[in-house]
Chains A and B, each alone.
Chain A
């Protein structure tokens, strides 16, 4: 069932109403409108197909997909009209209250309801052995959990830890701590691999669970786990969990009838989050934005590919790219303070050799690509982001790729803003030509006041030596005037990435930057 749903859900595209359907009643009008919409889209696709140079197989696939969906929607319509089974009763609470949504289909509910219970309820049919599990685990899990489930860095340890539960620092693993194997199956199936949840087949999940059991020395290497023998596996700590129903504890509190109104005599603010220092200084808005970033819809390329036959010709939009980066954030950091996490940090990515960061453990595959001369530029990144395995078949980056060329271009534009920009003015080489910039010519044409520039330059010489010494901090003498202006604006606009320079340049206005350039220019003469 989950398979057919995974086809079904992306096909719904933007109609979020159906996803939020647990509350409300589907109206006949809505169903009819959807049929009409789908028919229009099929017509549009057919028209585009006539015009476009796309290969026939792709068109056929898209048509089939849409036809299948059309048929399904029609079938649901008729079932609804005849009071048929797939529609459940409307949820009573929402009945007419807001006039939104419709009741969920049983198929939808069963797709959402992926709970696996300790007694085996909910388990799909399937099987997987330890050897297969080892392979799948190495591919999908080991980059965080380690080849032997021992946990890389601070990622969770899954194996071992027996007899440590009473220690000051217990190692809580599947073997030492978890009470029920069903939780392992459920969790792996529901949430793993990190960033690519629910991409594993049921057999693969069985195999991974079998391998985790093997890593904990709970089964032999010829063990095969299946829905048939699943409940026979008992975890060592099953007896360690009891219901603590002491009246003063949570269980009792939660079991009681909850108070829903007027629960306190008076309400007052006892402390503010900002005083408690639990409010982040910044980044809060960004996080929220990322949280709302939709997964790229599989339906999207149908439209964008047709509208923009050569998206690479278009410049990407860095702000759209920032939203697209939401899907990378689970593993990659970029920007000030970015560090290596599951994946390497992405600062100064442009021009970096593939697998080029010292101290990060890359796949052998990507190491080989780097050794054979692969560097990250817009074109190589575009290919990699479309399908990572196309560039490095064994890359640890378990990411399905971004099919939408425009989205890739946006993402690349965003990443480019964290590389030196303009890229052809290296920090330490003042003589390099600076032509790759989009600075307003009017800013470059400003005539600076050299005397004011001399005063302003005194702020620079606290760190930058007037003698031109450049140990630890780059030299700023003998820069061509235009390069200087371009570089300072790049810091001001936070395209160049250095917190002190962003801060200092950030409060200089266009005239002040011109004044500094004029002063430094006069020094040359």
Chain B
């Protein structure tokens, strides 16, 4: 049965490939099929927009292993105690029931680009005419000496939200009085550039209230980081003396960890720590590599429609893509998904394709009602997604502005999650 199906589908796809007019593609086997791998800010948005706007003219399958998706954005606010874990969890029920998307809870473990199928860990495969990969990030093996995935229980990364976030929060709460919370910050490029520093702020907020003599130690391989002036101003205002950041000048780029002994060694100096939040160097989610569309750690894409340089029928969204100037963020992935959805729909059904417009805004919370933001707009050029214009919160803003910024971020969270999950 499985073999017959694959044979049949492979033959159809081969037929389709010989046809030149894209909109006739579907005619080879009835309704055209889009498969989306990864149900986060990129994938869920792309699946929803294609299903919504094509009105049944495109068959959409979403492959996502988790039943409940925990957003990475706002997971720091959970660690700081501003949100419950249930606040950042979302189900795919509406995408299935309201939008008719075929939601498959499984791991995609391979892509056959000739046969145009995606292989599932649970067995079987799913055929596609257009494949959208939005797998997020995985970690680079050996990026932090002494750390691998088997150590993520002792030294959590909490950079994929959910159980890891809950583990890190539990470790934070169990810290002894006056203990040390250590973070190994990642090198560029990585998911959510302000993320590690918002997390430090949230950890400091928790410790200030519950464990005020505790310290935070950051080993950072980067000279500079996102919203640095804003964070450092906030840390001095709210958490004076609690946070120490060791940059590359002092060995922040030469670290190793020992998960058994709970030590963090910076430039040869051994620090005994109580919590060690290791955020290693990142790369595209593994399925992008398995599909053969990566070059190095990330998947290069064309700015106009997010199609990969390697395969015009495979698109990569969000963190996993290498696209130019946009930061790796949920907002960016959501923005790219809409451009991609418009292009994919146009290719499969002949609907109008409009010029790509991208935008991004990242809000970060430093302390209660002390929110800051940075944002930019982008356009597609032949070489890359290029920045057009941008802004950033100013240092020394009034408490009123900062509170409004935080409230705005809550509004955005409600907006983007509705945009992703319906």
Interface residue ranges, A against B (CB under 8 Å): 336-340, 345, 357-359, 451-452, 454-456, 458-459, 461-467, 469-473, 499-500, 502-504, 506-507
- The answer to whether A462 and B416 touch across the interface, beta carbons within 8 angstroms, is yes
How long is the Cα–Cα vector from A462 to B396 in the complex, in angstroms?
Answer: 28
- The answer to whether A464 and B396 touch across the interface, beta carbons within 8 angstroms, is no
Nearest CB in chain A to that of B393: its residue: A337
- The answer to whether A471 and B412 touch across the interface, beta carbons within 8 angstroms, is no
Contacts of A503 in B (CB 8 A): 359, 375-377, 389-391
- The answer to whether A465 and B418 touch across the interface, beta carbons within 8 angstroms, is yes
5 CB < 8 A contacts A-B: A462-B359, A465-B411, A472-B407, A473-B414, A503-B389
- The answer to whether A465 and B361 touch across the interface, beta carbons within 8 angstroms, is no
How long is the Cα–Cα vector from A473 to B410 in the complex, in angstroms?
Answer: 8
Contact-size category for B: 35 or more
Q: Is B114 an interface position by the 8 A CB rule?
A: no
Q: Is B399 an interface position by the 8 A CB rule?
A: yes
CB distance from B399 to the nearest CB of A (A): 6
Knowing A337-B393, A359-B399, A462-B334, say if A504 contacts B377 (CB, 8 Å).
yes
How long is the Cα–Cα vector from A358 to B376 in the complex, in angstroms?
Answer: 31
What is the total of A-B residue contacts with beta carbons within 8 Å?
Answer: 105
Apart from A452-B354, A459-B357, 14 more pairs, CB < 8 Å: A336-B391, A359-B400, A455-B354, A459-B335, A462-B419, A469-B411, A469-B415, A472-B409, A472-B410, A473-B408, A499-B373, A500-B373, A500-B375, A503-B391
Interface residue ranges, B against A (CB under 8 Å): 49, 53, 331, 334-335, 338, 342, 352, 354, 357, 359, 361, 373, 375-377, 379, 388-391, 393-394, 396-401, 407-412, 414-416, 418-419
CB distance from B417 to the nearest CB of A (A): 9
- The answer to whether A507 and B357 touch across the interface, beta carbons within 8 angstroms, is yes
How long is the Cα–Cα vector from A452 to B396 in the complex, in angstroms?
Answer: 40
Contacts of B388 in A (CB 8 A): 507
Nearest CB in chain A to that of B41: its residue: A462
Contacts of A506 in B (CB 8 A): 377, 389
Contacts of B397 in A (CB 8 A): 337, 339
How long is the Cα–Cα vector from A466 to B418 in the complex, in angstroms?
Answer: 8
How long is the Cα–Cα vector from A376 to B334 in the complex, in angstroms?
Answer: 42
CB distance from B356 to the nearest CB of A (A): 10
Knowing A337-B394, A459-B359, A506-B389, say if A471 contacts B399 (CB, 8 Å).
no
- The answer to whether B361 and A500 touch across the interface, beta carbons within 8 angstroms, is yes
Nearest CB in chain A to that of B53: its residue: A454
CB distance from A226 to the nearest CB of B (A): 43
How long is the Cα–Cα vector from A339 to B416 in the complex, in angstroms?
Answer: 30
Nearest CB in chain B to that of A457: its residue: B338
CB distance from B61 to the nearest CB of A (A): 21
CB distance from B358 to the nearest CB of A (A): 9
Q: Which of B399, B410, B415 contacts A461 (CB 8 A)?
A: B415
Contacts of A507 in B (CB 8 A): 357, 377, 379, 388-389
Knowing A451-B352, A499-B391, A500-B375, say if A456 contacts B357 (CB, 8 Å).
yes
